Chain A
Amino acid sequence: MASAGNREYKSGLIRWIEYRMPVFSLLDGVIGRDYPTPKNLNYWWNLGSILGLALVIQIATGIFLAMHYIPTADGAFDSVQNIMRNVNNGWLLRYVHANAASLFFVAVYIHIFRAFYYGSYKAPRELLWFLGVFIFVIMMAAAFTGYVLPWGQMSFWAATVITNLFSVIPLVGDEVTMWLWGGFSVGSPTVQRFFSLHYLLPFVLAAIIVLHIWALHVHGSSNPLGINVKGPQDTIAFHPYYTAKDAVGFGVFLLLLAFIVFYEPNYLNHPDNFNPANPLVTPPNIVPEWYFLPFYAILRSMPDKTLGVILFVGSIVVLFLVPFLDTSRVRSAKFRPVFRQFFWIFVADAILLGFVGANPPEGTWVVIGRLATAYYFAHFFLILPLVGWLERPKPLPDSIAQPVLGDSAPEVAE
Chain B
Amino acid sequence: MRGLLAVLGVAFALSLAAVPVFAAEEAEEPLERDWPHIGLFGTYDRAALQRGYRVYKDVCSACHSLKYISFRNLIEIGFTEAEAKAVASEFSFEAGPSEETGEMFDRAGLLSDTFPRPYANDAEARLSNNGALPPDLSLMAKAREDGTNYVFSLLVGYEEAPDDFDLTDGMNYNHYFAGLQIAMPQPLFEDMVEYRDGTPATVEQMAADVTQFLAWTAEPSLEPRHRMGFQVMVFLILLTILLYFVKRKVWADVH
B120, CB-defined interface residue at 8 Å:
no
Offer 14 A-B interface pairs, CB within 8 angstroms, sorted by A. Answer: A85-B68, A240-B250, A245-B247, A248-B247, A251-B243, A254-B240, A258-B232, A259-B229, A263-B226, A265-B225, A344-B4, A348-B8, A364-B20, A365-B18
B7 and A262 form a contact (CB under 8 A): no
B140 to A, closest residue via Cβ: A274
Q: Which residues of A contact B145 (CB under 8 A)?
A: 271
CB-CB contacts of A353-374 with B at 8 A, as 1s and 0s? 0010001001111001000000
Q: Which residues of B contact A247 (CB under 8 A)?
A: 243, 246-247
Using C-beta atoms within 8 Å of the partner chain, give the interface range for chain A: 35 or more
A352 within 8 A of B: yes
Contacts of B8 in A (CB 8 A): 348, 351
Assembled-state Cα–Cα distance A275/B139 (Å) = 8
- Per-residue CB contact flags for chain B residues 126-155 toward chain A (1 = under 8 Å, else 0) read 000000000100110011110100000000
B228 near A92 with CB under 8 A, answer yes
Return chain B residues, CB-CB under 8 Å to A263. Answer: 40, 226, 229
Q: Is the CB of B11 within 8 A of A351?
A: yes
- Give the Cβ gap from A232 to chain B, nearest Cβ, in Å: 13
Q: Is A266 an interface residue (CB 8 A)?
A: yes
Q: Is B143 within 8 A of A271, CB to CB?
A: yes
In B215-255, the 8 Å CB interface with A consists of: 218, 220-221, 225-226, 228-230, 232-233, 236-237, 239-240, 243-244, 246-247, 250-251, 254-255
CB-CB contacts below 8 Å: B11-39 with A: 11-12, 14-15, 17-18, 20
* Residue of A whose beta carbon sits closest to that of B237: A255
Chain B neighbourhood of A236, CB < 8 A:
254
Residue of B nearest to A358 (CB): B15
Q: Is A84 an interface residue (CB 8 A)?
A: yes
Asked if A347 is an interface residue, CB under 8 A from chain B, the answer is yes
Cβ contact within 8 Å between A81 and B17: no
Task: Report B-chain residues with C-beta under 8 Å of the C-beta of A251.
Answer: 236, 239-240, 243-244
Decide yes or no: A258 and B240 within 8 Å by CB, A236-B254, A352-B15, A364-B18 being known contacts.
no
Instruction: List the 10 shortest-distance A-B pairs measured between CB atoms, nearest first.
Output: A262-B229, A251-B240, A274-B143, A91-B221, A355-B15, A344-B3, A351-B11, A364-B18, A244-B250, A348-B7
Q: Mark A270-281, 1 if CB is under 8 A from B, else 0.
A: 011011000000
A81 to B66, CA, bound (A): 13
Q: Is B59 an interface residue when CB atoms closer than 8 A count as contact?
A: no
Interface status of A11 (Cβ within 8 A of chain B): no
Pair B225/A368 contact, Cβ less than 8 Å: no
A252 on the B face (CB < 8 A): yes
- Tell me, in angstroms, the Cα distance from A255 to B240 when the chains sit together: 8
Contact A259 B233 (CB under 8 A): yes
Q: How far is the CA of A42 from the CA of B29 in the complex (A)?
A: 45
Q: What is the CA–CA distance of A344 and B135 in the complex, to the nearest angstrom?
A: 47
Closest beta carbon of chain B to A189's beta carbon, Å: 24
Q: CB within 8 Å of B: which residues of A?
A: 39, 81, 84-85, 91-92, 95, 236, 240-241, 244-245, 247-248, 250-252, 254-255, 258-259, 261-263, 265-266, 271-272, 274-275, 344-345, 347-348, 351-352, 355, 359, 362-365, 368, 408
Please indicate the chain A residues that have their CB under 8 angstroms from the CB of B142 in the complex: 266, 271, 274
Cβ-defined contact, B18 with A252, below 8 A = no
Inter-subunit contact B220/A85 (CB<8 Å): yes
Residue numbers of B with Cβ under 8 A of A are 3-4, 6-8, 10-12, 14-15, 17-18, 20, 40, 68, 135, 138-139, 142-145, 147, 218, 220-221, 225-226, 228-230, 232-233, 236-237, 239-240, 243-244, 246-247, 250-251, 254-255
Which B residues are in CB contact (< 8 Å) with A244? Answer: 243, 246-247, 250-251
Residues of B within 8 A of A363 (CB): 18, 20
Q: Which residues of A contact B40 (CB under 8 A)?
A: 263
Interface of chain B, main secondary structure? helix
Q: For the complex formed, measure the closest distance between the CB of B90 and the CB atoms of chain A, giving whole angstroms.
A: 22
B178 to chain A, nearest CB (A): 8
Contact B17 A241 (CB under 8 A): no
Q: Contact: A258 with B220, CB < 8 Å?
A: no
Q: CA of A401 to CA of B14 in the docked complex: distance in angstroms?
A: 44
Which residues of chain A have C-beta atoms less than 8 A from B143's C-beta?
Answer: 271-272, 274-275
Smallest CB–CB gap between A111 and chain B, Å? 15
Are the C-beta atoms of B240 and A248 separated by less than 8 Å?
yes
**B243 partner residues in chain A, CB cutoff 8 A:** 244, 247-248, 250-251
**Residue of B whose beta carbon sits closest to that of A344:** B3
A368 touches B247 (CB 8 A): no
Residues of B within 8 A of A95 (CB): 225
Given A91-B221, A244-B250, answer yes or no on A368-B14 (Cβ-Cβ < 8 Å).
yes
B55 → A minimal CB distance (Å): 21
Nearest CB on B from A38, distance (A)? 12
CB distance from B81 to the nearest CB of A (A): 18
Known contacts A241-B250, A274-B143; A368/B18 CB under 8 A: yes
In the complex with contacts A251-B239, A262-B233, A274-B142, A362-B251 CB distance below 8 A:
no
**Which residues on the B side are within 8 Å of A344 (C-beta)?**
3-4, 6-7
> A254's contact among B218, B229, B236, by CB below 8 Å, is which?
B236
- Closest B residue to A276 by beta carbon equals B136
Chain A residues, Cβ within 8 Å of B236: 251, 254-255, 258
Which chain A positions have C-beta within 8 A of B239? 251
Residues of A within 8 A of B220 (CB): 85
Q: Is the CB of A359 within 8 A of B232?
A: no
How far does the Cβ of B56 sit from chain A's closest Cβ, in whole Å? 17
Residues in B whose Cβ lies below 8 Å from that of A259: 229, 233
Closest to B245 in A: A248
Q: How far is the CA of A262 from the CA of B220 in the complex (A)?
A: 13
Measured between alpha carbons, how far is A272 from B17 in the docked complex, in Å?
A: 26
**Complex CA–CA separation, A283 to B7 (angstroms):** 32
Whether B15 and A347, one on each chain, are in contact in the complex, defined by CB atoms closer than 8 angstroms, is no
What's the nearest-Cβ distance from chain B to residue A356, in Å? 8
